[in-house]
Chain A
C-alpha cells in the first residue's frame, strides 16, 4: 500500500510532505510523491536522498511520479487511482470566498473527486 503526497515547494507542500512521511511510518506504507508545483520546483536532490535513506531504514520505498495531465488535481487523482493509493495527503491554507469563486480550488477538487481517503493538513495554523 502507498501514501501519496502532493508536493509543491510552498508551505502547503512542505506541510503535506511532513505529514505524509509521518503517515507512511504510521501505516507502514511506501511513499509516493507527486510534484504539482508550477514550473519545475521539485525537491532538492539532497533532501530526497535523505528522505529515501530514512524510509529504507524503516523498510519502505520512495517513488516520485508525474502525470501527462496538465491540471495538478487531475494528475494527483489519476495517479492515486492508477496505483490504488491508500490515502492522499494534501496541504491547504485559508482561501477567501472571492478567491474560491474566481480562481477555483485545486484542493477542493481533489477532495471532491478522489476515490480514496484524503488527509488535508493546514499550512497556516493558528
Chain B
C-alpha cells in the first residue's frame, strides 16, 4: 500500500503530469471566480479537453481544478459580497463584514489557508479510506453493487436540499434519461425514436453543462454586477496567519464535517459548508461577532468546502456511487476509460487512486499559493460583470459539449436541458440527483441483470451486505417521514440544531405556475417513457418500466400537491388582500411569480443561445462566434464597443489556434459543407 502511494508520488515527477496539474489548478482557480460555475462547471468544461489524454494526465488536470475551485471562490465573496459559488456564500457572512471594516486581507488570508488545510485533510481522509474500505469493497459481488447504485440515486434524492418527492422525481427522470440509447443487456435501442444519433445515448458533458452550466448562466445573466463598489484589500495579512494558527481546531473540525458531507451522496459543498458554520457558531461561547466578522466563521466553512470535494471522491472511487455532481462526472470519465470504480479500481488501478490523492493535496497547496500571489489581479477579475463573462462561457460550453460526439445534436440537447435545468433550479427541484441518476442508469441496469442471472429469484436479497444496504436505504426515508409529520404538527420547534441554509433563496419561482409546469413535464415524461417502453423486449423493458412507474407515482403526488395549492389559493379571495398586506408589513412578501422579470430574462438568454447554435449550424462555429459575441456584449451586457471588439478578437484568435494546440474540433456549419 505504501509503496504504491510512493510510486504514485514518483510518477507525479513526470513533467507531463505536473504541467497538467498546474494547468488544472490555474483553470480551477479562474473558474472558482466565475459565479455559478463551481466544481461542476469546472469539471464539465475541462472534461472535453481530456478526451484525447491518458487517464493519469486527465485525472491530474481534473483533480487539480476540482481541488482549488473552492479556494478562489472566496475572493468575490469577501471583496464584493457576491459569492463565486453557493458554498462561498457562507464565507460571505463574516468575510464580507470583515472586508467592510478594511480587513479584507485578513479575511482572505484566513480563507486561503483554511482552504489549503481543508484540501490536505481531505486528501488524508481519502488516503485513510482506501485501506479501511478495501476488505469491504473486495467482498462485494453484483447484488451489493446493484444495491449501491440504487443507494446512490436514492440517497442523493433524499439528502438533497428541499422536497424529497421532488428529489426522487428528479433522480428517476435522470435514470430514464440515462437509459436513452442502447440497452446494456439486449443491445436494442431504447427511447431513440429511430434516431441514429440518440443510439449512443446522451453525452454526459452535454447533459451536465446544460442542466448546470447553461441554467446557471441564464439565471444569473441578468445580474449586471459591477455597480457594487469593490473594497480595497487593506491590511491584516500577519493577523490573519496568527488567527488561523490559533483556530487550528476549527480548521480540523470544519474539514472533518466537510469530508462527512462529501461522503453522503447529494450532500454537497453548499450543505457541508453551512453545517461547518453552524458547528462553529454552536461551539463558540461568545457568539456576538458571528455575521459581523468573526474569524471562526471563515475558518471552519472554508476548510469544509475544500474537503467536501475530497470526501465526494471516497464513495465515488471506492463504491462507484458519486458523492456529488463533479464526482459523478469524474465517474463518467473513468467509465469511458474502461476503469470501473469499486472493487476493480482497488485491485487493478491502485496507482490511479494514489495519484488522485497526491494531485488533490499538491493542488490544494499550489492553489493557496497562487491565490496569495495573484490576489490583486483576482480582485480585478471579480469586477467583470457576469453578462460579459456569460458571452464567452456560452461559446466555450457549446464548444465543449461538441467534443464528445462531434455532433450538433448534442448541442441542441444541451440547450433544451439548459431550459429544463433552469426550470428545476428556479422551482426548487434539486439537480444533483438528476445527474447522479443519469450517470448511474447503465451500471444499475447491468448489475441488476448480473444479479438476476446469478441468483435464484430473490435469494440475493438475503445476502448480509444487501440487507445492510436495504437498511441504509430505508432508514433515511423513515427519518424524513418522521420529520415531515413533526413539521406538519408544528411539534418540531424544539428539535435541536438546525444547520440548513436559509430556504427559498434559490428557488424564486416555487409554488407558481412554473412549478406546476415542471411537475407536469415530469408526469408527461414518465408517462411517455412507460408507454414507449411497452414495445421493448421483456429484458430491456423491465428496468425502464419500474423506474417510470415509480416516477409516475411520485410526479402525480407532486402534481396533486401543486394543484391543491392552487385551488386553495384561489378560494379565499376575500382574505387574500388582507393577508397580503399584513405579510407585506412584516417584510415577507408572498410568492407571486407569474411572468417575472428574471424568468423573462432567463428565457431571453436561452433564445440568444439558440440563435448562436442556429448560426453555428448554418455558418460554422467561428463565424457564429464573431456574430454572437459582439451582439451579446453590446445588447445584453451593454459593454462598450471597444471592449466588445477586443473581446471578440481575442476569443477568435484563441479559438483559431485551439485545434492545433489541443485535440479539439470546431463545429462546421451547413455552409462549410457546401464550400
Contact = CB atoms under 8 A, between A and B. Distances in A.
Contact of A70 (B286, B287, B500): B500
A74 B496 contact: no
A93 B493 CA distance: 10
A92 B494 contact: yes
Contacts of B286: 81
Given A36-B493, A70-B501, A109-B497, A81 B288 contact: yes
Contacts of B495: 103-106
A74 B283 CA distance: 10
Task: Give chain B's interface secondary structure class.
Answer: loop
Contact of B493 (A37, A44, A74): A37
Interface in A62-77: 67-74, 77
Contact of B588 (A40, A82, A95, A115): A40
A105 B494 contact: yes
Interface stretch (B148-156, B238-246, B274-282, B318-326): B274-282
B308 to A, nearest CB: 18
Contact of A71 (B291, B493, B498): B498
Interface residues of A, number: 36
A37 B582 CA distance: 18
A93 B274 CA distance: 29
B373 interface: no
B493 A70 contact: no
A95 B494 CA distance: 9
Interface in B286-311: 286-288, 290-291
Most buried by A among B287, B497, B500: B287
Interface in B449-507: 487, 490-502
A23 interface: no
Contacts, number: 89
Interface stretch (A6-14, A24-32, A50-58): A6-14
B288 A71 contact: no
B282 A78 contact: no
A42 B586 CA distance: 8
B661 interface: no
Contacts of A81: 286-288
B202 interface: no
B496 A105 contact: yes
Contacts of B93: 68
B499 A10 contact: no
Contacts of A77: 287
A61 interface: no
Nearest to A8: B493
A16 B593 CA distance: 36
Contacts of A119: none
B494 A12 contact: yes
Contacts of A44: 582
A115 B495 CA distance: 22
B493 A12 contact: yes
B538 to A, nearest CB: 45
B290 A69 contact: yes
Interface in B217-259: none
B282 A71 contact: yes
A104 B582 contact: no
A92 B501 CA distance: 25
B274 A74 contact: no
Nearest to A41: B490
B2 interface: no
B390 to A, nearest CB: 30
Given A10-B490, A38-B493, A107-B494, A71 B585 contact: no
Contact of A13 (B493, B501, B586, B588): B493
B500 A106 contact: no
Given A12-B494, A13-B493, A107-B494, A70 B291 contact: no
A103 to B, nearest CB: 4
B288 A74 contact: no
A106 B496 CA distance: 4
A71 B287 contact: no
Contacts of A42: 586, 588
Contact of B288 (A8, A9, A82, A113): A82
Nearest to A107: B494
A33 B588 CA distance: 17
A74 B494 contact: no
Nearest to B97: A68
Contacts of B582: 44-46
A92 B583 CA distance: 27
A38 B282 contact: no
A81 to B, nearest CB: 5
B502 A69 contact: no
B490 A70 contact: no
B492 A38 contact: yes
Interface in B102-118: none
A85 to B, nearest CB: 12
Contact of A78 (B288, B491, B496, B502): B288
A1 to B, nearest CB: 17
Contacts of B285: 113, 115
B424 to A, nearest CB: 23
A3 B487 CA distance: 29
Contacts of A71: 278, 281-282, 497-499
A72 B498 CA distance: 7
B493 A109 contact: no
B498 A78 contact: no
A13 B492 CA distance: 12
B291 A69 contact: yes
A74 B611 CA distance: 51
A70 B222 CA distance: 28
Contacts of B288: 78, 81-82
Contact of A45 (B278, B496, B498, B585): B585
Given A45-B586, A70-B274, A78 B290 contact: yes
B94 to A, nearest CB: 10
Given A45-B582, A70-B500, A10 B290 contact: no
Interface in B416-437: none
Interface string B581-592: 011011010000
| A-B residue pairs, 3 tightest by C-beta | A104-B496, A78-B287, A68-B291
17 contacts: A13-B493, A45-B582, A45-B585, A67-B291, A70-B274, A71-B278, A71-B281, A74-B278, A74-B281, A74-B282, A81-B287, A103-B492, A103-B494, A104-B495, A105-B495, A106-B497, A113-B285
Interface of A: 8-10, 12-13, 36-38, 40, 42, 44-46, 67-74, 77-78, 81-82, 92-93, 95, 103-107, 109, 113, 115
